[in-house]
Amino acid sequence: MSCFQKVHFELSFPALMERVRLLMPRRTVLTHVEEIEVNAWGWDHLGEMRKQYSDINFDFANDGIKIRIQNDECLQKNVA
């Protein structure tokens, strides 16, 4: 199964975390966090979710977030 296969449903948070564990990225930024969810649960609840899955390096995106993308292959070529 391709990681990019079209998903016909939304994943539960635990199912998403299992997929992230399988993919083993260095960092994951979860986007499309609905404003209604943040208003209902608050950022503290999202912080508790991060603690629950502390073995996974992930963050919840927010408006205005800046993400630095680093390509190790390019860095290795410039180190010579």
- Identify whether 4 is part of a domain: no
pLDDT value at residue 80: 47
Domain count, the chain: 1
- Identify whether 33 is part of a domain: yes
- Identify whether 40 is part of a domain: yes
- Identify whether 29 is part of a domain: yes
Please state the length of the chain: 80
Listed in sequence order, the DSSP H helices in the chain are 13-23, 35-41, 43-52, 72-79
Query: pTM for the full model?
Result: 0.65
pLDDT tens-digit profile of 36-60? Answer: 777 888 888 888 999 999 999 999 8
Residues paired with residue 30 on neighbouring β-strands, in sequence order: 60
> Which domain range does residue 20 map to?
13-79
Q: Is the pLDDT of residue 22 over 50?
A: yes
